[in-house]
């Protein structure tokens, strides 16, 4: 069975979402203290609201947690 472009796009989106879920689980469990130390004390409801954004923006979140991307200047 040959892959049609629709199947390739679906697999790519699934892979992106799966990577996002993995990064999100790590970020919510331990990685947030590298980005924002005060986020660890946030209630569970706040962390659940962050989840879709973390999944969608996982490359940026992963780069920030790895230290390859400097946080923006907050002055």
pLDDT for position 42: 87
Residues 6+ apart with CB under 8 A from 34: 64, 65, 67
Residue ranges of the chain with per-residue pLDDT less than 70:
1, 69-75
28 in Cβ contact with 5 (< 8 Å): no
DSSP assignment of 14-39, as one string?
HHHHHHHHHHHHHIIIIIHHHH-GGG
Domain boundary assignment for the chain: 20-66
pLDDT for position 34: 78
């Amino acid at each position: 069975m040959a892959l049609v472009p629709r199947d390739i796009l679906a697999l790519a989106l699934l892979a992106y979402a799966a990577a996002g879920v993995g990064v999100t689980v790590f970020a919510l469990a331990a990685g947030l203290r590298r980005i924002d130390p005060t986020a660890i004390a946030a209630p569970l409801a706040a962390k659940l609201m962050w989840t879709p954004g973390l999944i969608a923006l996982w490359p940026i979140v992963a780069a920030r947690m790895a230290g390859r991307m400097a946080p923006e200047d907050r002055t």
